[in-house]
Amino acid sequence: MILIIALLTSSLKLLLMPAYYSTDFEVHRNWLSITHNLPVKRWYYDDTSEWTLDYPPLFAWFEYLLSYPAQFFDKNMLVINNLKYESRETIIFQRLSVIFMDAVYCYGVHRCCKVISKGWRTDVVLPILLITNCGLIMLDHIHFQYNGFMYGILLLSIADMCNDRFLKSAFWFVVLLNLKHIYVYASPAYFIYLLKTYCLCNRPISDVVLTQKCWSNTIKLGSVVIGVFVISFLPFYDHLPQIISRLFPLKRGLCHAYWAPNVWALYNIVDKAVFFAASKLGYHKGEAKAAMTGGLVQEYSHLVLPNITPRITIILSLIFVLPLMVKLWKLKCPTDFIRCIALCSLTAFLFGYHVHEKAILMAIIPITILSVRDPLDAKIFLILSTVGYYSLFPLLYPKNLFLVKTLLLIIHSLYSFHSLSKMYTMKICKYSLPLLNIFESFYLFSFCLIHTYEHFIHNLLDFQNKLPFLPLMITSVYCSVGVIYCWILYFIFSSKDLSQL
Partner 1 sequence: MAVDKVLLKISCDNWLVVFGILVALLLRNVTMLHPYSGQGKPPMYGDYEAQRHWMEITTNLPVSEWYRNTSDNNLEYWGLDYPPLTAYHMYFCGLIANFLNENYTVLHASRGFESDEHKIFMRLTVLLCDILVYIPSLVIFYYSCAKLYQSDSANRSVKQNYTIPSSLSIILALLYPGIILIDHGHFQYNNVSLGLTTFSVIFLLHQKNILSSIFFCLALNYKQMELYHSLPFFLYLLSTCIPKPGKRAISGVVSLFVLGITVVVTFSIIWLPFLFDLDILLQVLHRQFPFARGIFEDKVANFWCALNVVYKLKVCDKAKLMRICLFTTLSAVFPSSVDLFLRPNRKKFILALINSSLAFFLFSYQVHEKTILVVALPVLLYFPENPFVCFWFLFISVFSMVPLFVKDDLIVAVIALLMFYIISFYVSMKYYYQSRCNSSNVSNYHIEQIRFLHNLINVDVKKSDKISRVFKMITRSRKTVEYFIFFLAMLLSFVGSLLIFVISIVFEPPVKYPDLFPLLISIYSCFHFLGFFVYFNVKQIQISQDFGDIGNVKLKEN
Contacts to partner 1 by CB under 8 A: 4, 7-8, 10-12, 14-19, 92, 398-401, 403-404, 407-408, 410-411, 414-415, 418, 421, 428-434, 441
**Of residues 415 and 485, the one with the C-beta less far from partner 1:** 415
Q: Return the number of the residue (217 or 413) whose C-beta is nearest partner 1.
A: 413
Decide whether 93 or 171 has the Cβ nearer to partner 1.
93
Nearer to partner 1, 208 or 403 (CB): 403
Whether the CB-CB separation of 339 and 494 falls below 8 Å is answered with yes
Instruction: Judge whether 328 and 304 are in contact, CB under 8 Å.
Output: no
Q: Which is nearer to partner 1, 244 or 411 (CB)?
A: 411
Alpha carbon separation from 334 to 52, 88, 159, 163 (Å, rounded) = 39, 46, 9, 9
Residue 61 and residue 55 in contact, taking contact as beta carbons nearer than 8 Å: no
Cβ at position 91, least distance to partner 1 in Å: 10
Least Å distance, CB 19 to partner 1, is 5
Decide if 356 contacts 256 (C-beta within 8 A).
Answer: yes
Classify 118 as helix, strand or coil. strand
d(CA 142, CA 95): 9
Shortest reach from residue 414's CB to partner 1, in Å:
7
For partner 1, the closer of residues 14 and 326 by Cβ is 14
- Cβ-contact 99, 10 below 8 angstroms: yes
In whole angstroms, give the CA distance from residue 219 to residue 286.
58
From the list 334, 288, 317, 91, the residue with the least C-alpha distance to 190 is: 334
Nearer to partner 1, 87 or 307 (CB): 87
Identify which of residues 63 and 454 has a Cβ nearer to partner 1 in the complex.
454
Minimum Å gap between C-beta 294 and partner 1 is: 24
Distance between CA atoms of 436 and 438, rounded to whole angstroms? 7
CA 160, CA 154: separation in Å to the nearest integer?
A: 10
Instruction: Provide, rounded to whole angstroms, the least separation between the CB of residue 20 and partner 1.
Output: 8
Euclidean distance between CA atoms 300 and 424, whole angstroms: 47
| Pure H helices in 287-425 | 310-330, 334-351, 361-371, 375-392, 402-423
Cα gap 337→170, rounded to integer Å: 13
**How far is C-alpha 164 from the geometric centre of its chain's CA atoms?**
25
Shortest distance in whole angstroms from residue 45 CB to partner 1: 38
In the complex, minimum distance from the CB of residue 310 to partner 1, in angstroms, rounded to a whole number: 40
Q: In whole angstroms, how far apart are CA 61 and each of 56, 126, 154, 178, 241?
A: 9, 32, 19, 10, 19
Output 309 or 459, the one with its CB closest to partner 1: 459
Q: Which residues are paired to 120 by β-bridges?
A: 118
Q: How far is the CB of 18 from partner 1 (least distance, A)?
A: 5
Nearer to partner 1, 370 or 401 (CB): 401
Q: Which residue, 399 or 466, has its beta carbon nearer to partner 1?
A: 399
- For every residue of 345-356, DSSP letters joined together read HHHHHHH-SSB-
Q: How far is the CB of 364 from partner 1 (least distance, A)?
A: 20
Q: What distance in Å separates the CA atoms of residue 31 and residue 47, rounded to the nearest whole number?
A: 11
Minimum distance of partner 1 from residue 22's CB (angstroms): 15
Identify whether the C-beta of residue 420 lies closer than 8 Å to the C-beta of residue 433. Answer: no
Residue type for 16, please? L
Between 321 and 401, CB nearer to partner 1? 401
| Exposure string over 51-78, b if 16+ CB within 10 A, otherwise e | bbbbbbbbbbbbbbebbeebeebbeebb
Minimum gap (Å) between residue 448 Cβ and partner 1: 13
Task: State the nearest-atom distance from the C-beta of 4 to partner 1, in Å.
Answer: 6
Q: What secondary structure, in 3-state letters, does 107-153 show?
A: HHHHHHHHHCCECHHHHHHHHHHHHCCHHHHHHHHHHHCCHHHHHHH
